[in-house]
Amino acid sequence: MEFKSNYDVVILDSGVDTAHPDLRAFSDIDCVALDAQTSVPVRDAGDVFGHATAIAGIIKREKPKASILSLRIFEKKDGFPKSSEEKLLQALSFIDRNLSVKVINMSFDVAEPMCMRELTQITRRLADRGVIMVAALKNSGGITFPAALEWVIGVSIDDICPISQPLNSRDDTVINMVAPPRLLRVAWQNGSHKYVRGSSFVCANVTAQALSFIEEGRSGYREVLAAFREKFPPITQELSAATGQTANEKPAFTIKKAAAFPFNKEMHSVVRYADELTFELVDVYDVRQTFQLGMDTNEVLKQACPQNFTIKNIDDVDWDSFDTLILGCVSQLIGLFRRTDWIKKIIADALAHGKNIFSFENISYLTEEKTNRIYYPSITKENVPKYRDSRLFRTAVPIVGVFGTQSQQGKFTLQMLLRREFKKLDCVIGQIGTEPHSLLFGCDYVFANGFNAVIEIDNRDQTLYLNDLLRRTCEKLPDIILTGTQKGLVPAVFNNMRFYSRQNYAFLDGIKPDYAILTVSVTDSVDYIKRSVGFLADLSCTKTLALVLFPVSSVDEKMEEFKQRRILSQAEYETFRDKVNAELDLPVLFLNDEHLGEKLMQILLEKLTKTPETADR
């Protein structure tokens, strides 16, 4: 069939009934569908549901001279409109190859695109050509696509919008335009009319307005969106506050060479995995009171690491050998020696020598300088998306989390192990860390929620912020997302609030991992392990795939202070494994196993490579 190659608007929907009384006077509406096998356009038989006729009627009411192509991607099945990601991609690709179009209207949503990479690529390509894309978010529910893509104008409804204002903008990367949920009389199927409300129909209003902006000389996504914000400002200043990366979300500086101080527990991972850092670690410093000066880091860690450093005295710093001082948890040293003056002097000297400081904890009380050369993880109200209508993002990208029954069980070690294994497969890895040093290893984002963490928001906002970190991580189109938490998931006993980790609950709500690796200790009862596995399943539908036994125990398990630690034997591991397997059908692996990475990957790949018919998702 013949049709034009230039249109003001393309409607991807259910097909338009051009014989409808509201539309039959217009001769500039063409209707086609695409052959599923050849992508060749064929004449559309009309509207299979009524939805697209309503969209076309709204656009024509506001822009009667607009030329429209209705490209049907929905069919009627079991009384409901049905489509697929494949049909959407087919239609967008057809537009990209064959048409010159100003605005594409997509009054539908996809919750968890399986073809996110392809959807991202084709929509970005169209945006680069100057095509404006307008899409509706689900009326009630989460963050949906293609509306949530950065270069697509996302449209929603909002009860707080005054009825007198037809549209309002939002300074947000997901929801760009909103309108009150007004009842509208629209054209429908078979010449009828219907009263409706919802983001789908507001989407048509936004499409018509976008066309007006283009006619006024605005071009491209950014200019058109700016025009919307000028003409339809947000209701309140609070809602117009910018979202996204804040000043302290990531360092304002780039690290090329760094020195680490002090060499305590929190710094061990930095040295243990120095080959995974995104910069060169040149020196490790400590204080003489720890009796570690002159020792090799391998000796202290009791293992052969890829890089070995001689621990030097912080009083003899070679300031010319690095650009950034990595400052560990100095509050522990302050508490131990009851002094702050020498830590203040180290910080002052570093700044005086023009060095950056990457701190694991808040050090603002140790210096009066306000400078972007100091970074420490902090989470404040500024980080939380200001307007999302409580919507949460979900992804089809598999998310694997490492969790534990207690603190200090090698959870970060397991994350690094999995990271290395997935790198061997050339996977694009997304990672959200909870350790304060996570960014040093190239994690996409950090939500530091351990010792001395700066978290100034409640659990609800933590969930929203974490979920936004997940959404932004997915913008890099990862093949896999790795994450994990600190502390134990559930309290072993209920007599002290210290045993409750409500931040972990917010973490699970925001990230919602698909699969978990659970670290356990030899002192854990099987009942406690079962409660932890059940908690993951009940709270976030997370399936635990394996348990990993931490290989260290205390000599006297009854001692609460100054425990002497020892390495578990293979026989002790096997005894523990058999005890657990008598009641719980899960693989129990040993953290000391030199083949642990291969075994975990075998378990994960078996699950991740299942066909859609058999996968848990």
pLDDT tens string 54-80: 999 999 999 999 999 999 999 888 878
Q: Does residue 552 have a pLDDT over 90?
A: no
The pLDDT of residue 389 is above 60: yes
Angle at which helices 51-62 and 199-215 pack, to 10 degrees?
A: 30
Measured CA angle at 526 (ends 522, 528), to 5 deg: 95
The tokens for 132 are 């404006």
Whether residue 233 is found in the same domain as residue 297: no
Q: How many other C-beta atoms lie within 10 A of the C-beta of residue 494?
A: 9
For 220-283, the DSSP string reads HHHHHHHHHHHHS--SSHHHHS--S--TTTS-SS--SEEEEE--SHHHHHHHHTGGGSSSEEEE
Give the residue from 324, 354, 376 where a domain finishes: 376
> Are residues 395 and 366 both part of a single domain?
no
Three-state helix/strand/coil letters over 105-145: EECCCECCCCCHHHHHHHHHHHHHCCCEEEEECCCCCCECE
Measured N-to-C along each axis, helices 116-128 and 85-98 cross at an angle, to the nearest 10 degrees, of: 20
Indicate whether 229 and 122 sit together in one domain: yes
With 50 as the cut, is the pLDDT of residue 559 above it? no
Q: Which two tokens stand for residue 253?
A: 């500086």
Domain membership flag for residue 225: yes
pLDDT the model gives residue 359: 95
CATH code of 310's domain = 3.40.50.720
Of the pLDDT bands very low, low, confident and very high (cuts 50, 70, 90), residue 419 is very high
Give the angle subtended at the CA of 28 by the CAs of 27 and 33, to the nearest 5°. 110
Confidence check: pLDDT of 283 > 50: yes
**Mean pLDDT on 87-103:** 96
Q: What are phi and psi of 104, to 5 degrees?
A: -110, 125
One domain for residues 311 and 443: no
Number of Cβ within 10 Å of residue 577's Cβ equals 16
Contact between residue 499 and residue 491 where contact means Cβ atoms under 8 Å apart: yes
CA distance 148 to 131: 16
Q: What is the pLDDT of residue 564?
A: 57
Token pair recorded at residue 305: 């690491």
Going by C-beta distance under 8 Å and a sequence separation of 6 or more, which residues neighbour residue 512? 394, 399, 540, 541, 542
The verdict on whether omega for the bond into residue 262 sits within 30 degrees of 0, i.e. cis, is yes
Final residue belonging to a domain, choices 209, 240, 271: 240
Question: Are 80 and 192 in a shared domain?
Answer: yes
Say how many domains are in the chain.
Answer: 3
pLDDT digits (tens, 9 = 90+) for 299-334: 999 889 999 999 999 999 999 999 999 999 888 888
Q: Is residue 515 situated within a structural domain?
A: yes
Alpha carbons within 13 A on the beta-carbon side of 610: 12
- Has residue 467 got a pLDDT over 80? yes
Residues 301 and 199 in one domain: no
Average confidence score pLDDT of the chain: 90
Asked if 274 and 218 sit in the same domain, the reply is no
pLDDT band for position 458 (cuts 50, 70, 90): very high
233, 263: one domain: no
Residues forming beta bridges with residue 286, ordered by sequence position: 313
Whether 395 maps to a domain, the answer reads yes
pLDDT at 245 over 50: no
pLDDT given at position 1: 58
Reduced to 3 states (helix: H, G, I; strand: E, B; else coil), residue 577 is: helix
| pLDDT tens-digit series, residues 168-204 | 999 888 999 999 988 999 999 999 999 999 999 999 9
Which residues constitute the domain of residue 386? Answer: 382-608
Domain assignment present for residue 247? The answer is no
Residue 33 near residue 71, CB atoms below 8 Å: yes
- Structure confidence at residue 202 (pLDDT): 96
Which of 503, 435, 511, 508 has the alpha carbon at shortest distance from 474?
511
**Angstrom distance (rounded) from CA 419 to CA 593:** 17
d(CA 104, CA 126): 10
Considering the domain architecture, whether residues 302 and 364 belong to the same structural domain is answered as: yes
Q: What is d(CA 131, CA 147) in angstroms, rounded to the nearest whole number?
A: 14
CATH code assigned at 583: 3.40.50.300
Q: Is residue 617 part of a domain?
A: no
Can you tell me the mean pLDDT for 579-607?
94
Given a cut of 60, is residue 558 above it in pLDDT?
no
Residue that finishes a domain, picked among 171, 206, 240: 240
473 and 519 both lie in a single domain: yes
Task: Identify whether 249 is part of a domain.
Answer: no
> In angstroms, how far is CA 594 from the centroid of its own chain?
32
Distance CA 213, CA 227 (A): 7
Same domain for 337 and 213: no
Closest C-alpha among 137, 96, 110 to residue 10: 96
What does the radius of gyration of the chain's CA atoms come to, in whole angstroms? 29
pLDDT band with cut points at 50, 70 and 90 for residue 249: confident
- CATH number of the domain where residue 223 is located: 3.40.50.200
Minimum mean pLDDT range among 226-240, 403-417, 430-444, 595-609: 226-240
Domain assignment present for 347: yes
pLDDT higher than threshold 70 for residue 32: yes
Q: Both tokens of residue 221?
A: 């996504």
Specify the pLDDT at position 2.
64
Whether residues 82 and 149 fall in one domain? yes
Q: How far apart are CA 117 and CA 115, in angstroms?
A: 6
Specify if 46 maps to a domain.
yes
